[in-house]
Amino acid sequence: MKRTLVAWVEDRPGTLNRVASLFRRRAFNIESLTVGHTEQAGTSRMTIVVDGVRTDSRKVEQNLRKLIHVLRVEDVTERPAVLHDLAMIKVTTSNGTRSEVMQIAETFGGRIVDVGLETLVVEATGPDERIDRLVEVLRPFGIAEMVRTGRVAMACDEDSRSGRRRSGDG
Amino acid sequence: MKRTLVAWVEDRPGTLNRVASLFRRRAFNIESLTVGHTEQAGTSRMTIVVDGVRTDSRKVEQNLRKLIHVLRVEDVTERPAVLHDLAMIKVTTSNGTRSEVMQIAETFGGRIVDVGLETLVVEATGPDERIDRLVEVLRPFGIAEMVRTGRVAMACDEDSRSGRRRSGDG
């Protein structure tokens, strides 16, 4: 089972390097790692997805906490959380298939962000497995290129009334 | 000016570590780095945003090319490209402000992905500066938490008829 860790780190040179070195040295098996800005200047936020079968996520958590410039680490796996990935998929199209690809994208809640003569670019966000399914459905048309961000996680409020336990898992 | 590089790398242990070490050793100033799956199993794709004033992006490009397991590097800055970022923003709300926050999110093309008693989570994709503006508009309501993926880039086809030179820049 995949486990999702969120780490808040100081925005200093070398922080990513220390985290990547730790994973390499300890041979931790990381599915994805995403780093981006937060609501606070000077603080970045990493979302780390660990293959829970091959790597003990508690060890990853403990080791991350020991690193300099790591402010906080939280395992959000058991919490209700929104776990989403952004994908941009460039699909080969012709006049005969374009509208079908557009309809598929819409069905998956995606958007068309570029249209060319021979391709179009579908953007979609959602849980990993929904994006995986979208990719499988588009594959027969021909996928020229794809880019994915890796998972980002936002824990829901404990009072959350959205009625679901969690959105997205793997 | 920000410059955007795309690097295709083999999905091997230590690749991220080597890239992060290179940036640290050469003191390259990196705005964001995103790694994710591609259309091909075994290949990952990195999007690297370089502060073009403080760091010569051609040097970054040349040095990346020399690394083992780096398959290809492309500077997409001058090309028509879709440059998007995913943000999830948890906004503090009450019964009086919830619908206003929802309308703002919608205006920016965002979606509400969780609603709690005291917060809601807005998801938005788009060029950095559009997300920045959304964050500024939501800030007076109170931002409890935010996560961003960093920029991912997809070059448009040369034949692209979407009518715009590029979507998003910085």
Tell me the two tokens of residue B13. Answer: 């242990």
The answer to whether position B161 is within a domain reads no
Q: Do A85 and A68 belong together in one domain?
A: no
Partner residue facing B125 (CB), from A117, A123, A154: A123
Residues A6 and A71 in one domain: yes
Residue A70 sits in the same domain as residue A89: no
In a domain? residue A165: no
Q: What are B72's strand-pairing partners?
A: B8
Give yes or no: residues B64 and B90 share one domain: no
CA-closest candidate to residue A118, choices A99, A139, A94: A94
Length of chain B: 170
In a domain, B146, yes or no: yes
Structural contact between residues A127 and A85, judged by C-beta atoms closer than 8 angstroms? yes
Does the structure show a pLDDT above 60 at A68? yes
Please tell me the distance from the alpha carbon of residue A7 to that of residue B89, in angstroms, as a whole number.
16
Q: Is A157 on the interface with B (CB under 8 A)?
A: yes
Which of the 8 DSSP states describes residue B167? B
A169 in a domain, yes or no? no
Q: How many domains does the structure of chain B reveal?
A: 2
Which structure tokens are listed for A168?
């997205």
CA B81, CA A155: separation in Å to the nearest integer? 32
Q: Examine the domain organization and report whether B39 and B87 are in the same domain.
A: no
B92 and B107 both lie in a single domain? yes
A115 touches chain B (CB under 8 A): yes
> What does DSSP say about strands A2-10 and B143-148: parallel, antiparallel, or unpaired?
unpaired
User: Per the domain annotation, does A158 fall within a domain?
Assistant: no
Q: What CA dihedral angle connects A122, B152, A142 and B43, to 10 degrees?
A: -150
Q: Which of A13, A46, A75 is the last residue of a domain?
A: A75
* Cβ–Cβ under 8 Å, residues B131 and A39: no
- Domain of residue A22, CATH code: 3.30.70.260
| Residue B69, both tokens | 């397991």
B160 domain residue, yes or no: no
Q: What is the pLDDT of residues B22-42, one digit of tens each?
A: 999 999 988 888 998 899 999
pLDDT bin (cut points 50, 70, 90) of residue A83 is very high
A151 or B166: which carries more pLDDT confidence?
A151
Q: Which residue of B has its CA nearest to A20?
A: B17
Q: Is A45 an interface residue toward B (CB < 8 Å)? A: yes
* Same domain as B110, residue B69: no
Q: Which residue of A has its CA nearest to B150?
A: A36
A121 touches chain B (CB under 8 A): yes
> Which residues are CB-neighbours of A29 under 8 A, at least 6 positions away?
A50, A51, A54, A55
Residue B33 lies in a domain: yes
The per-residue pLDDT for A157 is: 82
| pLDDT value for A166 | 45
Token pair, residue A91, equals 């699909």
A117 assigned to some structural domain: yes
Alpha helix ranges (H) inside chain B: 15-25, 57-66, 98-107, 128-138
Residues A93 and A57 both lie in one domain = no
Collect all residues of chain A within an 8 Å Cβ-Cβ radius of residue B47.
147
Answer yes or no: do A115 and B21 touch at CB < 8 A.
no
Q: How far A116 CA lies from chain B's nearest CA (Å)?
A: 4
Please determine, for the modelled complex, whether the ipTM score is greater than 0.90: no
Q: Which of B88, B90, B99, B95 is nearest to B119 (CA)?
A: B90
Residue A159: pLDDT band with limits 50, 70, 90: low
| Cβ–Cβ < 8 Å for A37, A44 | yes
Same-domain pairing of A52 and A99:
no
Asked which of A109-113, A118-122, B10-14, B85-89 is least confident by mean pLDDT, the reply is B10-14
Domain hosting residue A53, numbered range:
2-75
The distance of B85 to chain A (nearest Cα, Å) reads 8
Are B81 and B3 in contact, with CB atoms under 8 Å apart?
no
Across the range B110-138, mean pLDDT stands at 96
- Let me know whether B65 and B6 are in one domain: yes
Which of A42, A59, A75 terminates a domain? The answer is A75
